[in-house]
Amino acid sequence: MPTDKANNIRNVRYAPPGEYVKDHCFIKENGIWHLFGISGGIGKSWEDKGHEERISHSTSSNLIHWQLIGHPVEASRQPGFYDEHMAVAPFIVRNHDGLFYMFYSGWRHPNKRPNFSWEGNLQSIYVAVSSNLNEWEIPKEIKPKGIIVDGEPIVGRDPHVLWDAERKRWLLYFTDATTKRGGIVGIAESSDLLHWRNLGRALTIKSSSAPYDPAESPFVIRHPNSGKYLMLLNWDYSESDDPVKFEVTRPLPFKCGIERTADGDIGIGAGFAREIISHEGQQYLSGVLGKFGQFVIGFTPFSWTDRFLTLD
């Protein structure tokens, strides 16, 4: 049963003042939680010029009270760069060299509102490096096209990075944007987080009831009891003995994801774009909740079971 403190965290609804927040990540350093997320103005969306073009940074010691620190990573505004117009969906790991690496999706999207169209849209995975979580720099070899895999830039979004201790390599998962039909999670491997080799498709989703691309927001973790790898997506999940090959997906057995309504999308249940964190011995799913244009981060306590997890 969750403690009173866990229930207090369950009631948190946070976005930076005047903003909404969507795909996000957490990293804890010196007892402080750092939250990085998509930044947009209330009532707006990524389709509006000036929104989802930078990444917000907030901190907290207890997951309850948060303070906005700033917006340390932004679209480059450089013509021809693959992150010219947008910077979204961050995920951070600490490398063995002690530096922090932020993976995010850089977009070229020259036709936002009021004359919106998909013409010219291009999505690519970028990485920025920091020694202190406050100042970030994109390595020279990453510009202008983002991470290069086998000579070509990754075409995708929603990066997630996992350390594979057994084979001593980093694995990069991403929502593959090379096909319009969606449903593909791509994967690459690296020893240094900068130079990558393509491993093909980690998952091809054959069927899903998702209203949007079912391969969005992959989060991969090794189950602490079964030892299997779990890939959590916005609506579905998959498990595997091999972190580079997932085959069968199943609907998540709890309320979550995005629901379409006449007034716009709503993050329901445990939300969407979820992350897993542990705080003071309690496990939480963070997720995006609330109404379109007013999205916030919430926390759902959970416990690991023998094979999966159960919400508390």
Q: By residue range, what is the domain housing residue 156?
A: 4-311
| Percent of the chain predicted with pLDDT > 90 | 96
Distance CA 142, CA 194 (A): 8
pLDDT tier, 295 (very low <50, low <70, confident <90, very high otherwise) = very high
Q: Which phi and psi angles does 222 have, rounded to 5°? A: -90, 125
Q: According to the model, what pLDDT value does residue 1 have? A: 66
The CATH number assigned to the domain holding 223 equals 2.115.10.20
Query: For residue 260, is pLDDT > 90?
Result: yes
Q: According to the model, what pLDDT value does residue 180 have? A: 81
Distance CA 187, CA 11 (A): 35
Question: How far are the Cα atoms of 133, 253, 284 from residue 58, in angstroms, in the given order?
Answer: 11, 31, 18
Mean pLDDT of 126-144: 96
| Percent of the chain predicted with pLDDT > 70 | 100
Query: For residue 271, is pLDDT > 90?
Result: yes
CB–CB of 131/100 below 8 Å?
Answer: yes
Query: For residue 122, is pLDDT > 70?
Result: yes
Residue environment code for 50-60, b if the CB has 16+ CB neighbours within 10 A, otherwise e: ebbbbbbbbeb
Close Cβ partners of 197 (under 8 Å, ≥ 6 residues apart): 149, 150, 188, 189, 190
SS3 for 9? helix
Mean pLDDT of 105-114: 97
Mean pLDDT of 121-149: 97
Query: The dihedral of CA 280, 285, 289, 294: what is its sign?
Result: positive
Question: How far are the Cα atoms of 16, 58, 87, 138, 273 from residue 55, in angstroms, in the given order?
Answer: 11, 10, 7, 14, 15
Mean pLDDT of 250-277: 96
Query: For residue 211, is pLDDT > 90?
Result: yes
What is the total count of domains within the chain? 1
Query: How far is CA 142 from its chain centroid?
Result: 20
Distance CA 45, CA 108 (A): 16
CB–CB of 260/248 below 8 Å?
Answer: no
Q: Which phi and psi angles does 100 have, rounded to 5°? A: -95, 140
Q: What is the mean pLDDT of the chain?
A: 97
Query: How far is CA 246 from its chain centroid?
Result: 19
Mean pLDDT of 249-274: 96
List pLDDT tens digits, range 16-28. Answer: 999 999 999 999 9
Mean pLDDT of 273-289: 98
